[in-house]
Every structure is written in structure tokens, then in C-alpha cells.
Structure 1
């Protein structure tokens, strides 16, 4: 598995710079700037991982900080150079997306994009009913990717105002061998409008105050940590939209083609420590987070999700 994943990462890391654009129709009322900020922070966290691992790839004796190596062992099967090379390739690809300030519905832009490009939406309004489709279970069409959408597709959960889904990634996976990926069709990430509205109103982000809150959780946070079945550690307080963005970015085929390895049991720190999987999206997102905590905030995280200050 590690060998195949490494080959995938190495095959893709040399690709030319990709582009990403944010939908101005759905991301309004301050959401556009928030999405741009979350993408910037995800790329900055990814670059920190790349910089931390760079010397290690050139010389196995140039090991990263012992705390970073320990986190590699905690979240993944090993801390060796092959692991570092795989992770380096994944986070490097996140940094390769270049921002474009464009109207994603303009014909000239739509003709210039391809499956290596990314679009970001703040709802699923671009998925519209298609009553003319002859297939009984396909009554929707995705105007962004110009593809039919089955009635059970996860993207439709974003149309439910009561859904707990935060975001959905639509990657460039062909429907079948008989139906190859459409030309000029991108991958995309769509956020639930309620999640984006709440995040924008609260200006939710990773910062010093939030890190201190996670390091010294309130009584209510401690209760949540101890509730059975939630698989919740104090570090999960830092599950901000930046973490959600990076999680979704790893789902992209152009980045890591990661999955939620065990469905709902794939999320949160304790599950990531248990799974020790390169292929779990939350594990990749949390690794970038803990590297950030180590380098910028001088906090480490133990296997129970507790933050520990160091000097």
C-alpha cells in the first residue's frame, strides 16, 4: 500500500501549477474572503510540512524535530524517509494551487479549465433538478462538472438545511470506463451554507486564543472530551474551517485521493491515532495542524489529544 501511494504522490508532484477559483455567486456576504483565507491557511500549513520534511528527503541524517517525527509515528505507520516522502508529495501538491479571481461561469474560463483545477462553492445551488433524465435514480445535474448526479450523491446533503455535513468534495472520478471524464471539467469543494454562514459570522479560525482554549479546556469542553462514543480529544477544539478545508483538499484526486477510511469513525484525533492511515483525510489534515502547533505555538499533542506546552 505504501509503495503504491508513494508512486501516486511522486507521479503527481511534478505537475505544473494548478489553478483554483471561488464561486462569487454562492460565496457572498463575506464568505468569499473567508474561503480565500481558509485556503491560504491550508496552503501555509502545507508549506510548513514541506519545509520541515525537505532536509530529511535529501539526507536521512537531517531528521525533522523529534516532536514532528513522533507525530508521524502517532498518526501514520512509521517515521521513516518513505513516509516523509509520501507526505511531502501530498502537501506539496496542496501548495501548487494558484488563486484566480475570475467568474467561474464565464465561457472563456470554463473552456480553459481542466481536471487539475479546483473550484470552491458555498452551497450546492449549482446542482439542479433534471427531470428529463431517463434514469430513475438520476434526477439531478451538476452544472459545475456538467455531469448527472444520482439521488444518493453526498452533494445533495448540502441542500438539506438540517444536515450536519460541513463540506463535500467532488473529485475527477469518471462514472465508468464507458464515460470518461469530461473535457474542461474541474474538481471542486462545496461547503454547507449553514456551516459557512456560522464560520463567517464567528470569524472562526486557528489563532492563539483558540489554541489556549484547547490547551486549557473549559468545564463544558472537558465534559465533551469524556462523553463516551464521541471520540473527542482537546485538540479537536482546533477543528476550524482551515482543518475542514485541508481535509477536503486531500480528497481531491489531484492531491491525495484520500478517503474517510471508516465513515463517521474516521474523524477526530482519537480515530486518526487509532487508524494510522496515509489514506485517511482527517489524519492528513491533523498532521499539518500538529506541525503548525509545534512550530508556531510551541504545543505538542499526545495520543489522547491533550495539548502540552514546551519551551
Structure 2
């Protein structure tokens, strides 16, 4: 049976929101034309009034559908550039996992404010990482990240040198889109209004010190895209490390698998005799890193690294306790998942299976 949508503009039947548009159309017209919607024969029959009523109904429906379609089109998207071609599977899994982090964190913080009694473990984590005054701000930031539309590879990879759509976040895997402008002494991505100074270029492109991801917002921010560039050397290292299945943390699909993953990470960090907290090893995987960088995007709340180089890592975030610091968001999302799996997290960033969180309230 061929579907027909009279009176409906063709533009609404293609692109984002099409299924919702068609469903709303069918639902609305079934009410207009159904026998139950027609007047009783005992009423005064006025054909002009019936036509007028139907016209208002159709007009109202069309206005609603247009607004609906515009809303769907306006939803900010995450897209992956062609420079990520050879890493695309790894990047897609990491983005999926980062968004899952954000959804869980948003839900836990919403429950904390609306469900009684509150989860004591989540309450302690939220107070430790955000303070009580920062809980709603953190939740709203996670909500913005979770609302991003990501279609994986279904929409294909975008050209690195193409102009992004307002509000979108594009993930790149190199810096080929930039050209050096001698007059400004800056590196330009002119299409998207992004500039890098020489210092940043050297730190991320030529410096041998490993850095994972750089996030930049176009200018002016409200009408520009945000760019998230995964540093090529970090990608190569992660891809090689990924042969062990450790590129992302929570993307395995089941809690049992996730718990085994967390056990493995704890064991590996203990064996390495690292001076870093165990939790840092989980947060610095690609999905946690992408979550951190997504929070820097203008459409996701524009978080910052509030204390410069001292903004990163578990040891610093438990001192900072700010909902607008990107790493506080990263580690809340990571620890919220651990709590969901039945783990406790110590003040020092160690975690183990336990029915209770290891922090004492006197530590807060």
C-alpha cells in the first residue's frame, strides 16, 4: 500500500523526524475524519462550520509538524570526519560509550534530587565531586551531552574540509583542515571559524608529549560548530592497546561483562605499581576522554579546565569539587557506573566489590 500525505509539504517527509511527522499526521487525520468526530444528525447542520473546524484542525496540525521537524533538524549531532576512516570502529564505540556514560550520570543525579530515599553511594559521590550546590548544574550538563544525536556510521563520514552545521560537534583524527596564515600567525579552519595559535599547534601537533584530544569551539560560538580532534599518535597507541579490548570501558553491553572489565582494570593498575589512583586508568580510556571533551562543547554547557594543568585526574577533582570542571564530570560518570555494578570507591580512587561506599561522611 502506497502511503499518501495530502497537504503535507515534501520537505517534512524527508530527513530527521520523518517517522514522527508521518505518525502525527496519521493520528491527527484519523481524528478529523473518523465517524466519532462527526456531528450528531440532531444538531444544526452547518457545512461551512464543519469545513472551518476541519481547516483549523489541519492548520494546527501542520504548524505542529513543521515545528516538530524544525526541532528534529535543530538537534545537535555528533559527526565523524573522513580523517578517522581507519579508526572509525574504535571511535564509534567510544562515542556510543561516552553517551551511555552521560545518560547514566544524568539519570543518577535526577534520581538523587527526586527519588526518596536517595542512593547513599551516589549522594556521597555527587557531594564529593560537585558539592550539593553543584548537583543540578552537573545534571543539566550531562543531559545536554546525552541529548546529542549520534547515528554512528549510518550517515557516513563527513569531509574534513566541509562546513559543519550550527550546533554540531565534528570529531576529526588529524589537523589537515588547518592552514597557516602568515598575516595572523594563526592556523585557520576558516570554514568553521576555528583558530589555533602557534603554542597550541606545537603542543598538540608537533610536541612528543602524548596528549589525547583537543576540543575547540568555533567563533561566534552560538552559530558555529565545535571540533573535537583526537591526536593521531594517541589514536595509534589506543588502536594498538585496543587489541586487548581496553579502548573503551563500558561498551560491552552487559553488567557482568562490565564488572569483569572493571576487575581487569583494577588488577592491571595494581600490577603496574602505578602511583596514580586506579580510577584514573578507567577515566583516561577513549570513551572517558571523549566525554570530557564533549563537555567543552558550547552546546553541552561549555565546561572548562578550571585549574589549568591541575584540573585533571582523580586526585585533583576531589579537591576542585566543581560541576563546571570537565574532569569532575568525567569521573562522576565513571564512578556512577562502578556503583551501579556494586563497587565501592575509596577517597584515594581505589575501587573494589562492596555493598557500601568506602568513604566516611566525615571526609566530605
Instruction: Provide TM-score, normalisation by structure 2.
Output: 0.67
Cα pair 1:236 1:269 within 8 Å, conserved: yes
Cα distance in 1 for residues equivalent to 2:78 and 2:125: 30
Which structure would you say has the larger Rg? 2
Q: Output one character per residue of 1:8-30: Cα deviation in whole Å (capped at 9) or x when no partner.
A: xxxxxxx9521111001x1022x
Cα distance in 2 for residues equivalent to 1:43 and 1:302: 25
- Alpha-carbon distance, 1:70 to partner: 0.6
Provide the residue aligned with 1:5 in structure 2: none
- Within the candidate set 37, 42, 48, 2:98 is matched to 42
Cα distance in 2 for residues equivalent to 1:219 and 1:68: 25
**Structure 1 portions without partners, runs of 5+:** 1-14, 175-179, 226-231
Cα distance in 1 for residues equivalent to 2:305 and 2:269: 30
Report 1:101-120 matches (<5 A). 101-105=155-159, 110=163, 113-114=165-166, 116-120=167-171
Instruction: Provide TM-score, normalisation by structure 1.
Output: 0.77
Provide the residue aligned with 2:84 in structure 1: 27
Cα distance in 2 for residues equivalent to 1:299 and 1:144: 46
Provide the residue aligned with 1:67 in structure 2: 121
Give the root-mean-square deviation of aligned CA atoms: 2.6
Cα gap change, 1:83 to 1:181, in 2 (>3 Å): closer
- Alpha-carbon distance, 1:50 to partner: 2.1
Q: Output one character per residue of 1:3-61: Cα deviation in whole Å (capped at 9) or x when no partner.
A: xxxxxxxxxxxx9521111001x1022x112111111111111111222233444x3x5
Cα distance in 2 for residues equivalent to 1:124 and 1:54: 38
Matched, 1:213 2:264: yes
- Bigger mean CA offset, 163-172 vs 34-43: 163-172
Cα gap change, 1:144 to 1:211, in 2 (>3 Å): farther
Cα gap change, 1:20 to 1:219, in 2 (>3 Å): closer
Cα pair 1:71 1:287 within 8 Å, conserved: yes
SS of 1:27's partner is: helix
Cα gap change, 1:63 to 1:110, in 2 (>3 Å): farther
Q: Output one character per residue of 1:144-170: Cα deviation in whole Å (capped at 9) or x when no partner.
A: 524443222x35533226132211100
Cα distance in 2 for residues equivalent to 1:182 and 1:279: 19
Cα gap change, 1:208 to 1:201, in 2 (>3 Å): farther
Cα distance in 2 for residues equivalent to 1:197 and 1:86: 35
Cα distance in 2 for residues equivalent to 1:55 and 1:219: 33
Cα distance in 1 for residues equivalent to 2:332 and 2:212: 20
How many residues were matched structurally? 267
